[in-house]
Amino acid sequence: MTFKQKVIRCLPTIWVAFLSLFLFFAESGFTQSDTGVDLRPKKAFWGRYGYVNGAGKFVLEPKYEEALQFSDFLAAVKKDGKWGFINGEGKFVIEPRYEEAFLFSDQAAAVKQDGKWGFITRTGKYLIEPKYESAGIFRQGLAAVRWEGKWGFVTKGGEMVIPPKYEQVYCFSEDRCGAMADGKWGYIDRAGVFAVIPKYQEVLLFSEGLAAVNEGGTLDGNEFSGGKWFFIDPQGTVKIAEAHISSAMVEKGAPSRVGTDGRQDTTATIEAVENGFRGSKAHVRIGSRLLNGDSQGPSWGYIDSKGDWLAEGSTTIPLNFSNHTPGEGFTFESDIIGNRGTSADILQTAKNAETIGKAYEQVEQLERDADEQMAAADRADELGDKEVAQAARKLGKEKQQEARQLRDETDKRGGEANANSIKYFDQALKIYQVFAKENPDDLRKTEALYKVGEMYEHLAKYWDAYKAYKKLIEESAANQYWDLAIERMFAIGNVYLAGQHQMMWKIPMPADMNKVVEIYQTIIKSAPFGSYAPLATFSCGLAREKQKKWPDAVRFYEDVLDKYPKNDLIDDAQYQIGFVWMKAARQPEYDQTAAQKGIEAFQDYLARYKRSDKTEQATENIAMLSQRLSGGSLSVARFYDKTGNYPAALVYYNEVLTQSPDSTQGQEARQRKRILEDLISEAKQQASPADKSKISLRSNAQPQPRSLPSP
């Protein structure tokens, strides 16, 4: 499934054409000369949108309810419930007055007013009066519009040149437009005739003479996935059916080198496509394949217009060894400091070691799976279930055979007999570390730093991995590895939060929650407007809960409410505040204040989130805390009652009646209150006027006027 598909399927049909162009701009890396302004919209943590530059810094203040990409020097933004258009300085060129709006394209933009769609010029004047049910964007002089439930195309003069007869459409690109008929996608020409008959489950825009199409995929809710992608020309002829991959292959037992021994070619299915061709290459995900004994899983990269795999986007060193041989490189045993080979060779050698390590890691997992199946077979035998035992043993043998085959193939690829993954991950780690240290100005340094963290993760050294990712964040600007480092730090924090032990002098020790909080706070500090910041803040609260630092935990949950008021976590944060105080109320060192705070937090939760799935539990928690609270007041009242301090006892009996008047405790408090009030009244009546000022009910030594039931 592509990013485009995932987003488009979640929106009304009207957004289809718009998003096609929006993603064309966003993912093609268009510069200022293309979009007009080199800024992109971004949502701040308090829920408003602004615009950031290439370094991720806000240039236009986040103050809009919604915001779209700049195009033709203008961007559509929503303010006070209405849409208008701003320039690169943030000034309104077209004041907010529309119900909805799209970006400008071909000097026109679609807008919605009084429930109907039309088109305006850059001055805000209507090019086509609002009269359509929906509208798209102008491309190649035509724009999609919906009339009576079907889609057609109009010119800027308002002429309907392609009648509305399609179920869905995209926008025109290279004289072709994706259109749906009878539930299938094809491509129409500018006359509205199908140039490519509708038979596909999904299609993308044409670019550089090719378009990606999908056969066999399925739409499940808002998610499109599965099937096979390939590329066709404007006549519908398949030009790229699968990706072609080539790689060097070494002899078994020989030192691993880069591109010196043999060749092997293979192919892989194209599982996903991101938009299409840009700059003679397309970003695709290819499926699993076996290459030189290396079992490789699905991965993203680039192909050229012939379908040749370019390996992680490289366009200068194509891996087509029928006409190209990479540089010599160096062996794992060579002296890295001695600078044998180029920096590219060094990085490639590290990747080779990493690949072998991952292959052995798969072998080890298969061996563990086989052992588990054999153990399950033994347990089934003990229970007398022969059928289950036979099936488990068969599966275990299959896993063993698969592990042996993959190990043999990995040995041929350059691994050593009976080697394990740790050895090769450690080798890759050291090479990546050296590369990052000795190539401070190399553009690939960021990748090497990221790989250092990744290798530490494979070695289960999670704290070292966190420190490596943190170093990357501190030493580089925002880029693809920067974002991945934030993601991995969050994952490491979750590992420790879940209870993963840390190793200290090779002894497993319980996870240090202070370190967990440090990881999450690094994320919050480094990317305060990022998607992981509210999650990290919430997780800090969970870590403090584990330490029983109740006030600290509450502060983090309150931060979620204050800093991320529109985030999906706010209801959980509000509930958790009540839950923390409820746990605190059970501790002997906390007085009744904790229970009262818990009740108030749960009451706020019920008032704000009436449709939440935890309302019933919150109600039960309030009842339990109220009982605990009233039970505490009742205990104090009983104490003063027994010691003869009746006025003080009345104060606490009244508290019980206020907190839970209909409970068992409330009934007892009501009964004792009546008795004590009668007693105090009788005492006042019996006292003489001269002695009345000397009466002290707190330390009254007089005989009880009547026998009282025990409180």
Between CA 612 and CA 605 the distance in angstroms is 9
**166 and 273 share one domain:** no
The first and second tokens of residue 658, run together, are 């206020």
Residue 538, in any domain of the structure: no
Residue 467, in any domain of the structure: no
Q: What is the 3-state secondary structure (H, E, C) of 126-154?
A: EEEEEEECEEEEEECCEEEEEECCEEEEE
- What pTM was estimated for this model as a whole? 0.46
Between CA 648 and CA 697 the distance in angstroms is 10
Name the domain boundary from 313, 328, 343.
Answer: 328
Please name the residue ranges forming H helices in 643-660: 646-659
Neighbours of 83 (CB within 10 A): 25
Q: Which of 268, 294, 304 is nearest to 359 (CA)?
A: 294
Between CA 177 and CA 186 the distance in angstroms is 8
**699 and 579 share one domain:** yes
User: Would you give the end-to-end CA distance of the chain in angstroms?
Assistant: 71
The first and second tokens of residue 55, run together, are 């370094």
Neighbours of 114 (CB within 10 A): 8
* Phi, psi dihedrals of residue 609, rounded to the nearest 5°: -125, 65
Neighbours of 412 (CB within 10 A): 17
Neighbours of 502 (CB within 10 A): 15
CB distance 641 to 633 below 8 Å? no
Query: For residue 419, what pLDDT is reported?
Result: 77
Task: Render 468-501 in DSSP notation, one character per residue.
Answer: HHHHHHHHS-SSHHHHHHHHHHHHHHHHHHTTPP
Which residues, including other chains, have CB under 8 Å from residue 8's CB and lie 6 or more apart? 15, 16, 19, 20
In degrees to the nearest 10, what's the CA dihedral of 119, 121, 125, 131?
-10
**182 and 266 share one domain:** no
Q: Which of 460, 462, 437 is nearest to 448 (CA)?
A: 437
The first and second tokens of residue 424, run together, are 């090769």
Name the domain boundary from 328, 343, 377.
Answer: 328
Q: For tokens 């706010």, name the residue.
A: 570
How many domains does one find in the chain? 3
**248 and 314 share one domain:** yes
Query: For residue 2, what pLDDT is reported?
Result: 37
Query: For residue 33, what pLDDT is reported?
Result: 36
Query: For residue 591, what pLDDT is reported?
Result: 63
The first and second tokens of residue 338, run together, are 């001695």
Q: For tokens 């919430």, name the residue.
A: 538
**711 and 586 share one domain:** yes
DSSP β-ladder status, 142-147 and 75-79: unpaired
Which residues, including other chains, have CB under 8 Å from residue 589's CB and lie 6 or more apart? none
Q: What is the 3-state secondary structure (H, E, C) of 24-88?
A: HHHHCCCCHHHHCCCCEEEECCCCCEEEECCCCCEEEEEEECEECCCECCEEEEEECCEEEEECC
Low-confidence spans in the chain with pLDDT less than 50: 1-34, 248-263, 312-340, 503-509, 690-711
Name the domain boundary from 328, 355, 385.
Answer: 328
Count of residues for the chain?
A: 711
* Phi, psi dihedrals of residue 87, rounded to the nearest 5°: -100, -175
* Phi, psi dihedrals of residue 610, rounded to the nearest 5°: -65, -25
Between CA 647 and CA 683 the distance in angstroms is 13
Which residues, including other chains, have CB under 8 Å from residue 514's CB and lie 6 or more apart? 547
* Phi, psi dihedrals of residue 367, rounded to the nearest 5°: -65, -40
**704 and 618 share one domain:** yes
Query: For residue 26, what pLDDT is reported?
Result: 43
**32 and 173 share one domain:** yes
Residue 233, in any domain of the structure: no
Query: For residue 4, what pLDDT is reported?
Result: 35
**251 and 151 share one domain:** no
CB distance 708 to 680 below 8 Å? no
Q: Cα dist. 169→107, 146, 188 in Å?
A: 21, 10, 10
Residue 696, in any domain of the structure: yes
**151 and 297 share one domain:** no
Residue 305, in any domain of the structure: yes
Task: Render 432-472 in DSSP notation, one character per residue.
Answer: HHHHHHH-TT-TTHHHHHHHHHHHHHHTT-HHHHHHHHHHH
In degrees to the nearest 10, what's the CA dihedral of 573, 577, 580, 581?
-170
Residue 333, in any domain of the structure: no
**26 and 123 share one domain:** yes
Residue 393, in any domain of the structure: no
> What is the domain extent for residue 259?
243-328
Q: Cα dist. 368→209, 365, 371, 416 in Å?
A: 49, 5, 5, 20
Largest CA distance in the chain: 121
Q: Which of 416, 419, 367, 374 is nearest to 394 (CA)?
A: 374
Residue 183, in any domain of the structure: yes
The first and second tokens of residue 341, run together, are 């080979």
Q: What is the CATH number of the domain that holds 710?
A: 1.25.40.10
**146 and 265 share one domain:** no
**573 and 685 share one domain:** yes
Burial 121-160 (b: 16+ CB within 10 A, else e): ebeeeebbebebbbbbbbbeebbbbbbeeebbbbebeeee
Please write down the long-range contacts of 530-534, taking CB distance under 8 Å and 24 or more positions apart: 530/486, 532/486, 532/487, 532/490, 533/45, 533/563, 533/564, 534/45, 534/560, 534/563, 534/564, 534/567, 534/569
